[in-house]
Chains A and B, each alone.
Chain A
């Protein structure tokens, strides 16, 4: 970039750069403080936690970590969280792909009406809807459909509330696929289903990965739905178990730190692998000018 203001080059570049890095570094430190303190705490003994609460644990003490990893209930929660996450993600991506294809590519009477119905979901987030949804689960229970205290209930409710937002995102991606491709496929004798299955889906795989990454995080981190739906501790998911664990051991900060660290690590690892997809998904729906 050429400027006509005759300032020395080093001042134009270096001084603002210095302040930029200073501000960014301060922000980075603020972001990391809670995480680092937690990780330090997770490898301390309870005694160390009281004598040196926020120093570097030297040497690290893995007792609490091992203690938690050797309890079957931790792995049970991990398993439940995985079941819920995989099912919710698979079901939501599948349903959203079908619906988005219809909205993006086909014409029929009442299309706008149904589309607007789905946008109602954007104004009725699960945090607001949780009590009404609980009534419906209880009502289904009366019809003999087992929803309360079952992972199925958690999966279906999470899926239902993921639909609206992800349909909007995917519809955008689907509309971006050139219309000519569809025309060409039809001329070659493709039916709508062939076009969807053989041409569109392979093309939009990155978009499906993007919404899948978002849904995985939302489902894995969700506390409210499991909190309301699940009663028996055998079915608890990781966030629910974390909350209960924190309540039970609130005096033993070291073991709580270890538990929270262990339940955060899967998310952090997943984030580093799927950052591209997460970012693509989040920005796709939101930035439409």
Chain B
């Protein structure tokens, strides 16, 4: 934003009392100050505070005195439960990118075209996103109830003559059961992103491709998809960051169980911080998660040349 110095001088002369420059400076300070204080106190300062505590063996009683250096970090990295939680997060990320996002793209291309009733479908698909995670988790716990007399999904399986599945208690299945809920809740959000992206693509381009003899798949694959790449980058980034910090759905439905089968990093941190009160250890987990988010964001920005605009995180 460049300003014309000659014009500005004119303005300063018109301003009465305090010089314009002083007033400008006061506006800047007064406008930034309140937000900056809250932000520094509750977002930035905690990062340093927990980096400090992460080098202590500290149970939260009294002051932290037993400095153990990087011992907490060493313990975390060799803990098989933490490793399991990282693997689970990676599985959720891979499944999201492989299933959730393509489904969102396909459905959005359908709803974006001149389909009668498309506004209604958009409203419906986005509905789960606005429901709270607690409520979504409880709704799905009702569906996942292992007793076919009570759980809808097992009821259907029995009606089809199949065996029932213990969705949230079977170590091999629980993570996928959680992933289904994540998809149910969040694919509408990604669909919305793609819908907006599609609206920014002029229909003339696709029509021109059609005129040149491209079928609808070709025009989607060679024209629409490349033009959506900006939106896809955003959607991938939000999906990955969202998966890294996933907590409530898992905590309410399984508490990371059975036997850590659905443990994710955030439930691991919560357990050590707020259930076992190992504050030093929990701090180290928080710092590791923060570093993962930072490294991912910076690398991703570097790789995709994309500015860091995010919402709702």
A binding-site residues for B, Cβ under 8 Å = 1-5, 16-17, 20, 23-24, 27-28, 30-35, 37-38, 41, 49-50, 53-54, 95-96, 98-99, 101-102, 105-108, 114, 117-125, 127-136, 139, 156-157, 159-161, 163-169, 172, 179, 183, 186-187, 189, 191-193, 196, 214, 217-218, 220-221, 223-224, 228, 239, 242-243, 246, 253, 256-257, 260, 263-264, 267-268, 270-272, 275, 278-279, 281-289
Among candidates A32, A122, A134, A165, residue contacting B124 with C-beta atoms closer than 8 Å: A32
The answer to whether A221 touches B32 (Cβ under 8 A) is: no
Do B49 and A135 have beta carbons less than 8 Å apart?
Answer: yes
Q: Is the CB of A127 within 8 A of B142?
A: no
Q: Give chain B nearest CB distance to A274 CB in angstroms.
A: 9
Picked from A108, A122, A123, A287, the residue with its CB within 8 Å of the CB of B25 is A108
B291–chain A nearest beta-carbon distance, Å: 9
Q: List 24 A-B contacts (CB under 8 A).
A: A23-B110, A24-B111, A37-B143, A38-B139, A41-B142, A53-B149, A53-B155, A95-B38, A98-B30, A98-B34, A122-B308, A123-B294, A125-B293, A131-B279, A131-B285, A135-B46, A193-B27, A223-B132, A223-B252, A228-B274, A282-B312, A286-B193, A286-B311, A287-B231
Please choose the segment from B73-81, B89-97, B240-248 that sits at the chain A interface, where 4 or more of its residues have CB less than 8 A away: B240-248
Q: Which residues of B contact A34 (CB under 8 A)?
A: 136, 139-140, 142-143, 184
Q: Which residues of B contact A1 (CB under 8 A)?
A: 207, 210
Q: Given that A218-B312, A287-B231 are contacting pairs, would A31 and B245 also be in contact in the complex, using a CB cutoff of 8 Å?
A: no
Count of A-B residue pairs with CB < 8 Å:
315
Chain B interfacial residues counted at CB < 8 A? 110
Q: Which residues of B contact A31 (CB under 8 A)?
A: 124-125, 127-128, 184, 188
Q: Which of B7-15, B160-168, B170-178 lies on the face that meets chain A?
A: B7-15
Contact: A285 with B286, CB < 8 Å? no
Chain A residues near B310: list those with CB within 8 A: 122, 165, 168, 285-286
With both chains docked as a complex, state the minimum distance between the C-beta of A184 and any C-beta of chain B, in angstroms: 11
Interface of A: prevailing SS? helix
| A257 B142 Cβ-Cβ under 8 A | yes
B107 touches A24 (CB 8 A): yes
- Does B100 count as interface, using CB distance less than 8 angstroms? no
A220 vs B313: C-alpha distance when bound (angstroms): 15
**A20 contacts B115, CB within 8 Å?**
yes
* 8 Å CB contact of B309 from A117, A263, A286: A286
Contact: B274 with A131, CB < 8 Å?
yes
The contact of B184 among A30, A107, A130, by CB within 8 Å, is A30
Decide yes or no: A121 and B43 within 8 Å by CB, A96-B35, A114-B36 being known contacts: yes
Q: Which residues of A contact B126 (CB under 8 A)?
A: 275, 279
Closest residue of chain B to A285, judged by CB? B311
A156's partner among B14, B38, B134, B307 (CB-CB below 8 A) is B38
Interface membership of B102, Cβ < 8 A: no
The answer to whether A27 touches B107 (Cβ under 8 A) is yes
Q: How far is the CB of B118 from chain A (nearest CB, A)?
A: 9
Q: Which residues of B contact A186 (CB under 8 A)?
A: 7, 11
Which residues of A sit under 8 angstroms from B247, Cβ to Cβ? 127, 224
Whether the Cβ atoms of B110 and A24 lie closer than 8 Å is yes
Q: Does B196 lie at the interface of the complex (its beta carbon under 8 Å from any beta carbon of A)?
A: yes
Of the residues A28, A124, A191, A268, contact of B121 by C-beta under 8 Å: A28
Q: Is the CB–CB distance between A221 and B234 below 8 Å?
A: no
- Please report the C-alpha to C-alpha distance between residue A124 and residue B197 in the assembled complex, in whole angstroms: 27
Interface residues of B in 1-57 (CB under 8 A from A): 1, 3, 7, 10-11, 14-15, 20, 23-25, 27-28, 30-32, 34-36, 38-39, 41-47, 49-50, 53
Q: How far is A221 from B150 in the complex, measured between Cα atoms in Å?
A: 27
Instruction: Say which residue of A38, A135, A275 sits within 8 Å of B53 (CB atoms).
Output: A135
Contact B1 A107 (CB under 8 A): yes
